[in-house]
Amino acid sequence: MRELTVDLFSTVDGWLRGRDSPAYFGYDGPDLRAWIEEQSDCPQVVLMGANTYRALVEMGGGELSDSMARLPKVVFSKSLRPPLVWPNTSLVGEAVEVAVPEMKDAAGDPLRVIGSRLLVRSPCSGSGWWTGSA
């Protein structure tokens, strides 16, 4: 079974974003950039929801975007339509509670959710899709 990791940046008091502010992806700086670059060099399949996908695409180009472009990405969305801007991106309209356990059971690189609090907190998360049980 493939490993599934969830990365969420939050404030000390547990907020993932401020009131009327964009999603929080950490404080930019050399340490964060080095960590992201190191993580993006690891074999993985990145899972995200449509909101996170849109936010990351809007952040624009540069080295980090180039690193993300190389990684295979799976976006769960019923609102996005192909073609998607980022290369190596698959669009999944299937229910998360069905698709993720199938991905975990398939051979391949580890799975990693970045951001996507709504995806992680989806009603199906209680079914164990994000834990060790399928």
Please report whether residue 133 resides in a domain.
no
pLDDT of residue 24: 53
Residue pair 1/105 in contact by the 8 Å Cβ criterion? yes
pLDDT of residue 133: 39
Please report whether residue 34 resides in a domain.
yes
User: Could you give the number of structural domains in the chain?
Assistant: 1
pLDDT of residue 90: 93
Please report whether residue 42 resides in a domain.
yes
Domain that holds residue 11: 4-127
- Report the chain (134 residues): mean pLDDT per 10 consecutive residues: 80 63 63 76 89 79 69 91 88 88 93 76 51 42
Instruction: Tell me the C-alpha distance between 48 and 7, whole Å.
Output: 11
Please report whether residue 12 resides in a domain.
yes
CB atoms within 10 A of CB 3: 11
Helix (H, G, I), strand (E, B) or coil at 89: strand
- CATH number, residue 102: 3.40.430.10
Please report whether residue 132 resides in a domain.
no
pLDDT of residue 61: 58
Please report whether residue 134 resides in a domain.
no
Q: Which pTM does this prediction carry? A: 0.76
Please report whether residue 15 resides in a domain.
yes
Nearest Cα neighbor of 113 from 49, 47, 67 is 47
Nearest Cα neighbor of 73 from 49, 94, 107 is 49
Per-residue tokens: 19: 């009131």
